[in-house]
Amino acid sequence: MSQQQTLPPKDLPKEPPVTPQLGAEHGLKPDEFQLMLDIVRESNGRAPTVTELGIFSVMWSEHCSYKSSRVWLKKLPTTAPWVICGPGENAGVIDIGDGQAAIFKMESHNHPSFIEPYQGAATGVGGILRDVFTMGARPIANMNALRFGEPGNPKTRHLVSGVVAGIGGYGNCVGVPTVGGETNFHKAYNGNCLVNAMTVGLAQADKIFYSKAAGVGKPVVYVGSKTGRDGIHGATMSSAEFTADSESKRPTVQVGDPFTEKLLIEACLELMATDAIVAIQDMGAAGLTSSSVEMAGKGGLGIELDLDKVPQREPNMTPYEIMLSESQERMLMILEPGREDEARRIFEKWELDFAVIGHLTDNGRMVLKMHGRTWCDLVLAPLFDKAPLYHRPTEPTPPQPELAAGDFPLPAPASQLLLKLLGCPDLASKRWIWEQYDSQVMADTVMGPGGDAAVVRVHGTKKALAITTDCTPRYCLADPVRGGAQAVAEAWRNLTAVGALPLAITDNMNFGNPEKPRIMGQFAGCIEGMAEACRVLDFPVVSGNVSLYNETNGEAILPTPAIGGVGLLKDSTLAIGSGFKAEGDALFLLGETKGAIGQSLYLREILGREEGAPPIVDLQVERRNGDLVRGLIEARLLTACHDLSDGGLAVGLAEMALRGGKGVTVTGLEQADAGLLFGEDQARYLVTASATNAGEVESRAKAAGVPLTRLGTVGGDALTGLAGGPIPVAEMKRVNEAWLPAYMAGEL
Amino acid sequence: MRSAVIVFPGSNCDRDVAVALEQASGTKPHIVWHRDTEIPEVDVIAVPGGFSYGDYLRCGAMAAQSPAMRVVKERADKGVRVFGLCNGFQILTETGLLPGALIRNRSLKYVCRTVGLKVESADSDFTRKYRAGDVVRIPIGHGEGNYVADDETLERLEGEGLVAFRYAAVEGELGDANPNGATRDIAGIYNAKRNVLGMMPHPERAFEPLHGNTDGRAFFDSLVESLS
């Protein structure tokens, strides 16, 4: 260890002694703290420095180590012939033909968004964008899945306002369209909102960049923004429950600069067009620590950094602060030796910092020097392979009763109830949100927000990608296995409904405190259901993120395994929307309706009851019905298609009328019960076909063994045929559009 | 028609407008970096949308000081056609090529939607393929599109027929016809010589059938017809 000092000892950063209490303040449990002491004692013959403690604590945090979830995540299927890279890299990569790849991932920024909604959400978008362009992809679409507390909660309006502005503020400036998402409200999120952001990027399949370092002696290069004191301990903060003092954690939230991110995207993609980069990794959670540890660790090498050379925003930063900072818009890369000047010119053109801060070594150690002194000298391997791995106890969720729709008669005429549902927070139009996002920049958006799935053209080709985010948390709470399967199945169905072939998913697992067996049981159950659905639907998981400890004062969120699905359309003109198209089109219900009323929105919003088992998910039927629908769309036999989910058949009809601005007359529903009108049976679609093609649709359904019911005919300016009389489309529109703007204006 | 697109750090509609110019004219535009002090001989220069310099200081204020914009100004003075879309409009007002300013939307929120746009005059190189009085549908996406100018300027714009586009109601569209509070519903204006146009809406986003609306195509076709 070098003891040469360039600063007089009195001016060196002061480091406090490493005590069990300091370990606890870093989130290390007593046995984890002891394990760290033993590891450092064995390899170095001394106690760890505080910089080393900081590095251990973030690498072993739940956020970085997945110590509670790893054993379960292994159960998810992650391969298929079209998967180029599954979980473990910055993002997942799939083959979309013609030598092109789609790269995508979804990631949470829940804890920071609750503390500071604008910056928390903004940096969530920034982080997921970096995960994608780090791998060589140009980001082409953003999505998000948001959950907020009940509207009456005093904090909800402030969170919605800040989160939406933050997502827009970042994504709009960077110039990547935000093409869709979902937003729910439930009291279980009063103390912890969820902000899950997804980015999809496009790359050449033979130009994917990975994080595994290679080549002893090769330079380690830092690019992007300067390092400041923001975000220190962000990863640790996200690995603990909130208590009453969570406001005091505001300084742990990072601050985003989308302008710098835009420059970083362009500079990185410009450099990536050369062959100068060996490996690259963004500095996300735990910043310089996790990026350097992961790159060197994956390559089985060591790394030595001279922290004096790290571009710094503030004077007198300590090695500890530099290593733990979560300043945004920074990347770490290994370059081919001799290419530094070429790379520097590109980053200087884009007015970004560029610094060679170290090199790879062959000793398997992480050595950090500053002011001529060594502040950290750790064997790297234990930071990831000795990270704690917990087989936490699980307690299964008790089964809920299957409810019979007949026990829940309609309390009012169906048309009145439908209007009420269309105006409820979960079903009300989210236009107020998505009009704050630029959904059209890049000029490739085929179908933007407000449909079943977004569709974005693959620039310069006929192809298009379909993208969706889905989860029904109330189902997951009542029956985690069914809920997990349903989330995957609904994503698959949404992609199918626009005519895409579903290819793969990213998952964002949002749960409460995993140290509680009940919560861990929810996690395990959701994984089991998801895994089964992924297998049956050939819909593997290629990337993901886990966010645990979403609890405040012991109250957990609903289990929320948000699924981001991506599918492929061979021809973007195949994409059909869910709005009624033409007068006289025949309307069909495709799939079987038994009247699944348990956990339905009808039960919750109309009768005020959250109970029963969620709908059964029959994955074979899901697949059979979906494959038929996709075939019908590919044969251009349909004019519109909408999958049925929240609110069931009646809400599906209304949504098609709203989106198309046209009415419909249905038959046989005057006497329908709650199960038929509002049941949330799975694997169902509403489709329309021209009078010419209706017969062909019927015969193909018959051949496939899929139940198909002729429901009515598109036309007029009202939804006609429900008990209670026709509902004008204009009236549905007024009710559907009114709630969110009025709520946000403080009028409700 | 020969064209150029100026690119600033933070521009993000540069590719979109370049694609539209190329498809309409059959010729690839020159891409000009903000630090360039020369622009090739072209018939039309596009100042694209986006967030030049992150919108820091004030939208368009820093881009207006760039070397490339000094050349754009010289060319405009010589009669070369120049148009600015969205952030490009903001930049053109900041350079003084167009009068007035664009301030925060009345709602204080960014807004992205398709709006109705009334073509005030078809008598320009940018609009000759439209008909005066047409209401077309063109997308917008901005947080600072609220056009303001002093009364004297507004009277001059109106009196000399220099209002190019106004926000107007389209049947079936929701919300205010005027999405940002712009004075007199002004969405786009010409300079006195009518060779410079700035507008907040994005015709390049309503260019091909994939966009679900091709009302913006005529904007680019007008230029091609005028300048080829």
pLDDT in tens, A115-166: 999 999 999 999 999 999 999 999 999 999 999 999 999 999 999 999 999 9
Asked if residues A259 and A169 have their Cβ atoms less than 8 Å apart, the reply is: no
**pLDDT for the residue A250:** 57
Mean pLDDT of chain A: 95
Strand partners, B136: B117
| Mean pLDDT, range A427-440, rounded to an integer | 98
pLDDT of residue A237: 57
Does the pLDDT at position A242 exceed 70?
no
Q: Count H helices, E strands: chain A?
A: 25, 28
Which one, of B99, B96, B87, B32, lies nearest residue B58 by Cα? B87
The pLDDT, as a whole number, for residue A374 is 95
Smallest Cα distance from B104 to chain A, Å: 14
Q: Measured between alpha carbons, how far is A638 from A127 in angstroms, rounded to an integer?
A: 39
- Please report, rounded to a whole number, the percentage of residues in chain B having pLDDT higher than 90: 96
Q: Is residue A73's pLDDT more than 50?
A: yes
Residue B13 scores a pLDDT above 90: yes
| pLDDT bracket for residue A257 (50, 70, 90) | very high
Catalytic residue list of B: 86, 202, 204
Q: Which of B10, B174, B212 sits opposite A259 (nearest CB)?
A: B10
Average pLDDT on A77-81 reads 98
Least-confidence region, from A20-34, A488-502, A726-740: A20-34
CA B163: distance to chain centroid? 12
> Is the separation of the CB atoms in A532 and A485 below 8 Å?
yes
Q: Please state the rounded mean pLDDT for residues A470-474.
A: 97
Q: Is the pLDDT of residue B176 over 90?
A: no
Contact list in A for residue B201 (CB cut-off 8 A) is none
Whether the pLDDT of residue A244 is over 70: the answer is no
- pLDDT given at position A231: 74
Chain A contact present for B174, CB below 8 A:
yes
Task: Tell if the CB–CB gap between B54 and A435 is shorter than 8 Å.
Answer: no
- Is A440 at the interface with chain B, CB within 8 A? yes
Query: What is the model's pLDDT at position A285?
Result: 79
Give yes or no for residue A479 having a pLDDT over 50.
Answer: yes
Tell me which of A68-77, A168-177, A223-232, A487-496 is least confident: A223-232
Taking the CA atoms of B5, B8, B9 and B13 in sequence, report the sign of the dihedral they define: negative
> CB–CB of A444 and B10 under 8 A?
no
pLDDT band for position B152 (cuts 50, 70, 90): very high
Q: Rounded to a whole number, what is the distance in Å from the CA of A440 to chain B's nearest CA?
A: 7
The residue length of chain B stands at 228
Mean pLDDT of B49-73: 96
Do the chains contact at A445 and B16, CB–CB below 8 Å?
A: no
- Quick one: angle between helices A729-744 and A414-422, nearest 10? 40
Binary contact (B13, A350; C-beta < 8 A):
no
Structure tokens at A295: 């790159």
Please check whether residue A521 touches B, CB under 8 A: no
From B155's Cα to the closest Cα of chain A, the distance in A is 33
A63 as an active site residue: the answer is yes
Mean pLDDT of A98-109: 97
pLDDT at A233 over 80: no
Q: Residue B63 half-sphere exposure, CB side, CA atoms within 13 Å?
A: 31
In the prediction, which pLDDT does A12 show?
75
Average pLDDT over residues A395-418: 97
Instruction: Give yes or no for B219 touching A (CB within 8 A).
Output: no
Percentage of residues in chain A with pLDDT exceeding 70?
96
Please give the pLDDT value at position A254: 81
B-contacting residues of A 338-377, CB under 8 Å? Answer: 350-351
Q: Say yes or no to pLDDT of A1 above 50.
A: no
Provide φ and ψ at A326, rounded to 5°.
Answer: -115, 35
Nearest to A262 among B10, B15, B19 (CB): B10
Predicted local distance difference test score (pLDDT) of residue A3: 37
Higher confidence at residue A505 or residue A240? A505
Q: What percent of chain A has pLDDT over 90?
A: 91
Q: pLDDT tens, A639-651?
A: 999 999 999 999 9
- Beta bridge partners, A605, equal none
Confidence of residue B172 (pLDDT cuts 50, 70, 90): low
Average pLDDT of span A386-413: 95
Examine the pLDDT at A238 and tell me if it is beyond 90.
Answer: no
Q: Do A263 and B204 touch (CB under 8 A)?
A: no
Q: Does the ipTM exceed 0.95?
A: yes
More confident residue, A674 or A6: A674
Q: What pLDDT sits at residue A2? A: 37
